[in-house]
Amino acid sequence: MAFDSLSDRLQGALKKVTGKGKLNEKDIENMMREVRLSLLEADVNYKVVKQFTNEVKEKALGEKVLKSLSPGQQVVKIVHEELKQLMGEDAHGVAFKGHGTTVIMLVGLQGAGKTTHAGKLANYMRKKHNKKPLMVAADIYRPAAIDQLETVGKQLNVPVFSMGTDVSPVEIAKKALQQATENKNDLVIIDTAGRLHIDEALMDELQQVKEIAKPDEILLTVDAMTGQDAVTVADSFHKQLNVTGAILTKLDGDTRGGAALSIRKVTGVPIKFMGLGEQLDKIEVFHPERMASRILGMGDVLTLIEKAQDAIDEEEAMDMAKKFKEATFDYNDFKKQIKQIKRLGNLKGIMKMIPGMGKQLNNVDIDDKQFNYIEAIINSMTKEERRNPNLMSSSRRRRIAEGAGRNISEVNRIIKQFEEMRKMMKKMMNMDERQMSRMMNNQGG
């Protein structure tokens, strides 16, 4: 995951001051040296690093901080605030038109993730903003690019407008907008051509498409893995096209994070979205504050809640609660629950969003495949067994293990865990508030 090593080093640097009851200038100087090195190592632009460290230092050395009761905490707060500022303060959504069709033009170098993110955005806007998107294939130089967008469209069931490779991108954009009006598509996403490097011909063409399409947003996709190059690319595109925002892609990889921390400050372009995987649902709005919290290991509860809301159907959850209470929760329900958890995404990534968990998880190996094994085991049960968990005799267990390709002890363990969960849930669901809190306290201690 992006930022891991930066996160480690920054937290290490801050730890040196958080444990101390009193701080002096020397402590702050030492800490700042570490902070500076960790940012440089993360490939953050050196001018940005300089400005950042100067600001933090100036604030941290203020009388009020050094004389406060918890100077270390105050310093962490300052670093958090400055990191947030660096990445842009507030999250920016897309500026939708009140009436008529909103047009988003995607630009960027080849391979940055334009086509993939055209699909992700269409999917996201349809789900979150109830939009009816049309995607437009305006990269006429690579037939494969048109095919790729059409495949994405089919996958998502979102229409794609294309006219092949013999018509100019300007003409394609014009016709696409007409079709959007006719078909009442209130969102048009134009996937433009990319090149390996920025060149004049490309910029001219994009300029022309911009004039015709009059986009409400020009979003630049930049590959976070390319570090400072991403910042240079963003700068050139912005100077020529006046882009309205960036989508930082491939933040799921082990990029050091430099691009995310420099783009805004160097180019003035706000990061609006981030891409976190190849699949078409791996996109999130970029929230500078939440990102700052994640980097400093403070967790990100808000994103966690949003993810849970997306993955969990409320009616289904109520239904489950009822089953727990009445002890009618069976293996079919267990399977449904596992599906919901899997929908949240990579489990380690999710757990890191819980405050205080980040660092503890560094050396823990969480194997998402475990869920697949449990599913395979449940799948090998007969319908009757799934509905009636009390049927599990040892011969049945052996058959289930064979069917799932797992060993018998694993099947026994899953069955035992399931039984315990059922007992515990039944108990909890029938408790009043006082009993519940007593139980929680006992567990905690």
Binding residues: 108-115, 191-195, 249-252
Could you give the CA distance from residue 284 to residue 102 in angstroms, rounded to a whole number? 20
> To the nearest whole angstrom, how small is the minimum distance from the Cβ of residue 121 to ligand GDP?
12
Q: In what order do the strands lie in the sheet with 245-249?
A: 160-161, 133-138, 187-192, 102-107, 217-223, 245-249, 271-275, 283-285
> To the nearest whole angstrom, how small is the minimum distance from the Cβ of residue 259 to ligand GDP?
13
Residue 8 or 281 having the CB closest to ligand GDP = 281
Annotated binding-site members for GTP? 108-115, 191-195, 249-252
Q: By C-alpha distance, which of 47, 79, 46 is closest to 60? A: 79
Could you give the CA distance from residue 241 to residue 238 in angstroms, rounded to a whole number? 5
> To the nearest whole angstrom, how small is the minimum distance from the Cβ of residue 201 to ligand GDP?
17
> To the nearest whole angstrom, how small is the minimum distance from the Cβ of residue 165 to ligand GDP?
15
Backbone angles phi, psi at 279, to 5 degrees: -65, 155
Residue 139 or 289 having the CB closest to ligand GDP = 139
Residue 106 or 381 having the CB closest to ligand GDP = 106
> To the nearest whole angstrom, how small is the minimum distance from the Cβ of residue 253 to ligand GDP?
5
Could you give the CA distance from residue 45 to residue 48 in angstroms, rounded to a whole number? 5
Could you give the CA distance from residue 223 to residue 112 in angstroms, rounded to a whole number? 5
> To the nearest whole angstrom, how small is the minimum distance from the Cβ of residue 120 to ligand GDP?
8
Residue nearest ligand GDP by beta-carbon distance: 275
Residue 62 or 253 having the CB closest to ligand GDP = 253
Could you give the CA distance from residue 355 to residue 278 in angstroms, rounded to a whole number? 27
The burial class, CB within 10 Å (0-12 / 13-18 / 19+), for 229 is middle
Residue 71 or 108 having the CB closest to ligand GDP = 108
- C-alpha distances (whole Å) from 421 to each of 66, 89, 257, 333, 429 are 50, 43, 40, 12, 12
> To the nearest whole angstrom, how small is the minimum distance from the Cβ of residue 222 to ligand GDP?
10
Residue 29 or 254 having the CB closest to ligand GDP = 254
Q: Among positive and negative, which fits the CA dihedral 231, 80, 38, 360?
A: negative
Could you give the CA distance from residue 221 to residue 286 in angstroms, rounded to a whole number? 13
Cβ(119)–Cβ(150) under 8 Å? no
Q: Is 409 helix (H, G, I), strand (E, B) or coil?
A: helix
Residue 245 or 275 having the CB closest to ligand GDP = 275
> To the nearest whole angstrom, how small is the minimum distance from the Cβ of residue 113 to ligand GDP?
3
Residue 108 or 297 having the CB closest to ligand GDP = 108
Residues that bind ligand GDP (CB under 6 A): 108, 110-116, 148, 194, 221, 249-250, 252-253, 275-278, 282
Structure tokens, 299: 């967790």
Could you give the CA distance from residue 108 to residue 228 in angstroms, rounded to a whole number? 15
Which residues are bridge partners to 104 per DSSP? 189, 217
Residue 1 or 376 having the CB closest to ligand GDP = 1
β-strands 271-275, 283-285: how paired?
A: antiparallel
Q: By C-alpha distance, which of 70, 49, 50, 45 is closest to 60? A: 70
Could you give the CA distance from residue 270 to residue 252 in angstroms, rounded to a whole number? 19
Helix (H) or strand (E) holding 16: helix 4-18
> To the nearest whole angstrom, how small is the minimum distance from the Cβ of residue 220 to ligand GDP?
11
